[in-house]
Amino acid sequence: MVPTMGALHEGHLQLVIKALEENDIVVVSIFVNPTQFDNKTDLEKYPRTLESDVKLLKTVSKTQIIVYAPTVDDIYEGNTVSKRFDFDGLEFEMEGKFRHGHFDGVGTIVKRFFEIVKPHNAYFGEKDFQQLLIIKKLVEKHQIPVNIVGCKIHRETNGLAMSSRNTRLESHYKKASPFIYETLKTAREKFGTKSATKVSEWVDNQFAKHDLLELEYFLIADVETLKPVKRKSNKKKYRAFIAVYAGEIRLIDNIALN
């Protein structure tokens, strides 16, 4: 299964292609899940392009893909609220601090999909790295028999991480947006010799000087706990995570540091 919210792009297709390589049949769900949006405008304006999504999927396979596109009522049966989950604290870090209730919404829908579709394997992109860890935790805690496969971030040629929200970027923001990945790459370099605090200060400064992009957060965290790193350890793996506003569009990205 490849769960999506539609507005499919090359990044989604890469997940589907990987899933097709490893499975006979791939279910692609297309469902804009209302309970994971903390911002009403974002939910309303989220691109909905079912017809072209289906066309795009057909370019990959005409016989091995099932598109599952339920309505909100099919899923929530008149009660559009999320369940409460305990993800051992992963839900309180990063996105959890800025998007209240977001991971309860994600947990609710992904659990429901797994119960309905019963996939052997499910594929998720590392762009939403926190989501990926949370889904692994969901499956572990609720003993859902599905193997969660994380897939590398797919980028536009200018480095911008692919996202359905990119289609909503006005051209001047689109032009400016590669700055995000460029900054992440330089942060990775700096992390070789500098502390996480110093690197974060440098990133804050870069964005303070930028006249279009507004930094919401940048932090370097342990890849297992997602807790911000205080003292670097050679035994641990770290990633840098970033959320940026390009006008009203919120973009997130991350990079492995070691």
Catalytic residue check, 12: yes
Helical residues (DSSP H) of the chain, grouped into ranges: 10-22, 40-45, 50-58, 72-76, 95-98, 102-117, 129-141, 171-176, 178-191, 196-208
- Tell me whether residue 32 or residue 240 sits nearer to ligand PAF (CB atom): 32
- Tell me whether residue 138 or residue 203 sits nearer to ligand PAF (CB atom): 138
The residues pairing with 240 across neighbouring beta strands, listed in sequence order, are 220, 255
Among the listed residues 15, 217, 35, the one whose alpha carbon sits nearest the alpha carbon of residue 112: 35
Calculate the CA dihedral of residues 41, 94, 129, 69 and round it to 10 degrees.
-30
The DSSP code sequence of 207-248 is HHT-SSEEEEEEEEEETTT-PBPSS--TTS-EEEEEEEEETT
Residues forming contacts to ligand PAF in the complex (CB under 6 A) are 3-5, 33, 36, 106, 109-110, 128, 131
The residues pairing with 253 across neighbouring beta strands, listed in sequence order, are 242
94 contacts 221 by C-beta, under 8 angstroms: yes
Contacts of 155 (CB under 8 A, 6+ apart): 161, 162, 181
- Tell me whether residue 104 or residue 169 sits nearer to ligand PAF (CB atom): 104
Distances in whole angstroms, Cα of residue 74 to Cα of each of 11, 82, 117, 138, 245:
27, 15, 14, 22, 33
- Tell me whether residue 91 or residue 128 sits nearer to ligand PAF (CB atom): 128
CB of 37 to ligand PAF, least distance (A): 10
The first and second tokens of residue 103, run together, are: 């991971």
- Tell me whether residue 67 or residue 212 sits nearer to ligand PAF (CB atom): 67
Catalytic pick among 9, 12, 120, 154: 12
Indicate which residues carry an active-site annotation: 12
